[in-house]
Chains A and B, each alone.
Chain A
Amino acid sequence: MKIDNSLPLEYSTEENRLKILGFWIFLGAEIALFATLFATYFTLVNRTGNGPIGADIFEVTPVLIETILLLTSSFTIGLGINAMRHGSKNAMMVFFIITLALGAGFLGTEIFEFKHYVHIGAGLQVSAFTSILLTLLGTHGAHVTLGLFWGLFIVLQVKKRGLTPETTNKAFIYSLYWHFLDVVWIFIFSFVYLKGMM
């Protein structure tokens, strides 16, 4: 394995560079996926049948908590990558664990929010609007859930194997994924919740 020492560890081998480009392209596909879900949401948002409209069911508090938790986690994972570039394994692990904790907090709040929707009669089957609302939020939530496990695996590997070209590559790609989920959430926050509550 040829290691190019002029580059950060995560970019240092040919294989690593391929993986990073591949993941960027995967994120392109993810953008197409969420764009389709958003387009479907905008198509169905006013098709509420006998069910509630957005303004009836959205609550500011949990949404704000979710937003703050996820945005902060995007910042802490950035700090984690910065620590990784400086070669301090422990600082990186601490920031990654904080990120995962914030992510878990986000997920917990979202589960609470979902239970609330079902409770007040805005379940998955009620109308086209509730179907796509919960599917859009749920797809994002499923991504976060997967990300929690993925991040946990990476922390375990860094702990055991240290900062190697492989582990830093995984951690860097994971950070791209996590930032992406944050970007999607900003769209959800603006175009689902804010627009819905206005």
Chain B
Amino acid sequence: MDYFDRFAVPHSSPMIVGSQIAIAVTVLAILVGVTYFKKWGYLWREWFTTVDHKRIGIMYILAALLMLFRGGADAILMRAQTAIPDNGLLDGQHYNEIFTTHGVVMILFMAMPFIIGLMNIVTPLQIGARDVAFPRLNAVSFWLFFWGAMLFNISFVVGGSPDAGWTAYFPLASVEFSESVGMNYYAIAIQIAGIGTLMTGINFIVTILKMRAPGMTLMKMPMFTWSILITNLIIVFAFPVLTVALALMTMDRLFGTNFFTMANGGSDMLWANLFWIWGHPEVYIVILPAFGIYSEIISTFARRNLYGYKSMVVSMVAISVLSFVVWAHHFFTMGHGAMVNGIFSITTMAIAVPTGIKIFNWLFTLWKGKIEFTVPMLYSLAFIPIFTIGGVTGVMLAMASADYQYHNTMFLVAHFHYVLIPGTVFAVLAGFTYWWPKIFNFQLSERIGKWAFWFIVVGFNVTFFPMFITGLDGQARRMYTYSEATGYGPLNLLSFVGALGLLIGFAFLVYNIYWSTRYAPRNVTSDPWNARSLEWATHSPVPEYNFAIVPEVDSSQAFWDSKNNGPALFKGKYKEIHMPNNSGVPFVLGIIFFVWGFAMVFSMWIFAIISTLGIFACMAHRSFEKDHGHHISVEEIEETEKKLRGANA
């Protein structure tokens, strides 16, 4: 039995036991349910083995929504714990665990996959391609992310959650100060998901550079596609740094090396540097696609061309370059001297310039537009002022000398939620609502969507604005409780009320999906928003091959032009289409990685070696495999097109 003791949670509490039971019951219910309704075959054929970018995108978004609620549960618990002074709802250890998992889950397993999901669905359609460059690799990316996320999530009920913050600073994250396997989960689960993300990066760069429709030069790409190209360039150059940092952390924790230790020459500051050399570009990985989404939505619903196309592109390139030279601003107070602090202050403030250019471009796009207040547009309009507050407080934090005053306080927490929530979360919700009819051929209810919007936007401000004030008053972040004498009580209670508002907003979002799936009218056209880019030129739902005839393009909004007496998009006749085959190997590879990760977390070397061999067996299988894909005949295309009616029928 001693062998199994390692799987026990070291700081168990009734809440954790409850979750263990709930998770076990849910998993069992899913397995029994799928078996009872005989859906295993369907799931395997249509989803687990798919290499279709649209289906992979849907799975990414589903997983992201799931993680949104996991991270949201952590958030509500944190706000509940700090709602009143000297609260005993959670103990210090449990609080450490939930703010750690909240951060990791929201950034890496919610924001990233949500963005990657939208980019999977939309990018190939926007450039008139039939799939991504490497469809099989795309499936591998998804399953590595998925099983990595699952591995991270079971830490809560098997062996103990990570508890050193999402930044995992050393020496706190070392074996000496974090004894449980929690930080092993952190190092290995993120590593697995990160490898998947790196492959996504390579895949989409090649897709965008090589597979655009004829006539679509780089400067005629839709702005969302531009943002995705730049994001993936950042991914390819930032994620290897994380790979190394996590590998060194794993070795420190499992094999007793001395990279970040306090003895034998180790350097804890090295971790902070490596982490943020990845971590700051990571922030732009989740914000640039959001900028792309807003550009599409604002131009669609203001019924105007995007203002300043070239300056939008140039500013994104500038942001991507600057994102790699600001990392030290995350730890101004760790003592790297006035000179270094000064340089990083200036580079950080410089980012406000290209970002400001983008804000003005959106405002000028709105200027004199015939604005239509749909749900996606509401999120976009709310984004501009709220994000600007986040940006301005960011410049305040960028001033190194002033930063000593409010670093590590709730002011910082308020700042980054003011950029990440209106930036990324509003954007993915807007994009989700905007592209929903393209994927499912019906619209989400605007009425319920607006309820969700108002609860989310008001709830957000009520939750996070008070933190600016308590932060300036000196309330430290990550503090699990405080005394009544500090006077933080009322504003923290207000934050909790706001968090409940957010909860109601997200409940509306879920209800909207349920309600619209059942009752929304199904007779929408393939272009319900009267939009401008190519994804709206094909049918909804999009057929497997995306476009029956590859479109020909001569401007950045070719579809809009073709609707307004411009040149036709689809010239020529149907030809046989070559498509990739499905494969179960990526799914299997993901599971083997999960087993490998689990074995590594608990130092079970025999399982680790066996699963390593399994991973190499999958790669060898791929090397020897002969897979030439399949062809869709002209008759089949004609039949599908007739059934789908649409833009070019």
Cβ of A125 and Cβ of B256 under 8 Å apart? Answer: yes
A32 within 8 A of B: yes
Q: Once the chains are docked, how many angstroms separate the CA of A18 from the CA of B245?
A: 30
B206: interface (CB < 8 Å): yes
Whether A18 pairs with B255 at a CB distance below 8 angstroms is no
Contact with A along B201-230 (1 / 0, CB 8 A): 111011001110000000000000000000
Look across to chain A and name the residue whose beta carbon is closest to the beta carbon of B239.
A29
Report the separation of the CA atoms of residues A35 and B188 in the bound assembly, to the nearest whole angstrom: 22
Q: Within the assembled complex, what's the spacing in Å between the Cα atoms of A19 and B133?
A: 8
Residue B185 lies at the interface, judged by CB distance under 8 Å to chain A:
no
Indicate the size class of the contact surface on chain A.
35 or more
Contact of A40 among B198, B205, B274, B616 (CB under 8 A): B274
Task: Tell whether, in the assembled complex, residue B244 and residue A18 are in contact, meaning their CB atoms are under 8 Å apart.
Answer: no
Contact A22–B274 (Cβ < 8 Å): no
Whether A185 is near chain B, meaning CB under 8 Å from some CB there, is: no
Whether B265 contacts A28 by the Cβ 8 Å rule is: no
In the bound assembly, the distance between CA atoms of A88 and B264 in angstroms comes to 56
State whether A36 touches B264 (Cβ < 8 A).
no
Q: Does B263 contact A (CB under 8 A)?
A: yes
CA distance A132 to B202 in the complex (A): 28
Please determine whether B205 and A29 come into contact, CB atoms closer than 8 angstroms: no
Q: Which of A36, A50, A132, A156 has the most CB of B within 10 A?
A: A36
On chain A, the residues within 8 Å of B256 by CB distance are 124-125
Q: Which residue of B lies closest to A21 (CB)?
A: B206
One of B51-59, B565-573, B620-628 contacting the partner: B620-628
Total interface residues on B, using CB and 8 Å?
A: 43
Task: Tell me if A25 is interfacial: C-beta within 8 Å of chain B.
Answer: yes
* Contact pick for B259, options A26, A30, A44, CB 8 Å: A44
Chain A, range 51-94, C-beta contacts under 8 Å to B: 51
1/0 per residue, CB under 8 A from B, across A10-44: the answer is 00000001110110011011101100110010011
Q: Are A44 and B202 in contact (CB under 8 A)?
A: no
Residues A29 and B202 in contact in the complex (CB < 8 Å), given A43-B267, A153-B620: yes
Given A18-B210, A25-B205, A25-B206, A49–B240 Cβ distance below 8 Å? no
A47 touches B265 (CB 8 A): yes
Residues of A within 8 A of B259 (CB): 40, 44, 128, 131-132
Contact call B258/A18, Cβ cutoff below 8 A: no
Contacts of B620 in A (CB 8 A): 149, 153
List the B residue with the shortest CB-CB distance to A130: B258
Please tell me if the beta carbons of B265 and A22 are within 8 angstroms of each other in the complex: no
User: In the complex, how many angstroms separate the beta carbon of A49 from the nearest chain B beta carbon?
Assistant: 4
User: What is the minimal beta-carbon distance from B171 to any residue of chain A, in angstroms?
Assistant: 13
**Given A22-B203, A125-B258, A36 and B241 touching (CB < 8 A)?**
yes
Instruction: List the B side residues contacting A44 at CB < 8 Å.
Output: 259, 265, 267, 270
Shortest CB-to-CB span from A37 to chain B, Å, is 6
The distance from the CB of A191 to the nearest CB of chain B, in whole angstroms, is: 17
Q: How far does the alpha carbon of A193 sit from the alpha carbon of B230 in the complex, in Å?
A: 37
Asked if B202 contacts A26 (CB within 8 A), the reply is yes
User: B274 contacts A33, CB within 8 Å?
Assistant: no
Against B, the Cβ 8 Å flags (1 = close, 0 = not) of A85-127 are: 0000000000000000000000000000000000000001111
Main secondary structure of the interface of B (DSSP, over half): helix
Question: Nearest chain-A residue to B252 (Cβ)?
Answer: A131
- Within the complex, what minimum Cβ distance (angstroms) separates A48 from chain B? 6
- Cα separation A156 to B623 with both chains bound (whole Å): 11
CB B191 to nearest CB in A, in angstroms, measures 13
Instruction: Report the bound CA distance from A91 to B45 in whole Å.
Output: 44
Query: A181 CB to closest chain B CB, in angstroms?
Result: 16
Contact with B263, one of A33, A48, A49, A149 (Cβ below 8 angstroms): A49
| Cβ-defined contact, A28 with B623, below 8 A | no
Q: Verify B210–A17 contact, CB threshold 8 A.
A: yes
Instruction: Evaluate contact between A18 and B206: CB separation under 8 angstroms.
Output: yes
**Complex formed: what's the CA distance from A53 to B159 in Å?**
39
B-side contacts of A177, CB under 8 Å: none
List B contacts of A47 (CB < 8 A).
265-267
Does B77 sit at the interface, judged by CB under 8 A?
A: no
Is B134 an interface residue, CB under 8 A from the partner?
Answer: yes
Given contacts A40-B248, A125-B257, A131-B257, are A32 and B241 in contact (CB under 8 A)? yes
* Residue on B nearest A154 in the bound complex, by CB: B623
B540 CB within 8 Å of chain A = no
Check: B100 CB closer than 8 A to any chain A CB: no
User: CA–CA, A26 to B274, complex, Å?
Assistant: 20
When chains A and B are docked, how far (Å) is the Cα of A26 from the Cα of B264? 35
> Chain B residue with minimal CB distance to A36?
B244
Q: How far is the CA of A129 from the CA of B244 in the complex (A)?
A: 16
Listed in ascending order, the chain A residues whose CB lies under 8 Å from chain B are: 1, 17-19, 21-22, 25-26, 28-30, 32-33, 36-37, 40, 43-44, 47-51, 124-132, 135, 149-150, 153-154, 156-157, 170
- 5 closest A-B pairs by CB: A47-B265, A128-B265, A49-B264, A33-B240, A49-B265
Chain A to chain B contacts (Cβ below 8 Å), 28 pairs: A1-B578, A18-B134, A18-B210, A21-B210, A22-B133, A22-B134, A22-B206, A25-B202, A28-B237, A29-B201, A29-B239, A32-B237, A32-B240, A33-B241, A36-B244, A43-B267, A44-B259, A47-B266, A49-B263, A124-B251, A125-B255, A127-B265, A128-B264, A128-B265, A129-B265, A135-B248, A154-B623, A156-B624
In the complex, besides A18-B134, A149-B616, 20 extra interface pairs with C-beta distance below 8 angstroms are A18-B206, A18-B210, A25-B202, A25-B205, A26-B202, A29-B236, A29-B239, A32-B236, A33-B240, A36-B274, A44-B265, A49-B263, A125-B255, A125-B258, A128-B259, A128-B266, A131-B266, A135-B251, A150-B623, A153-B620
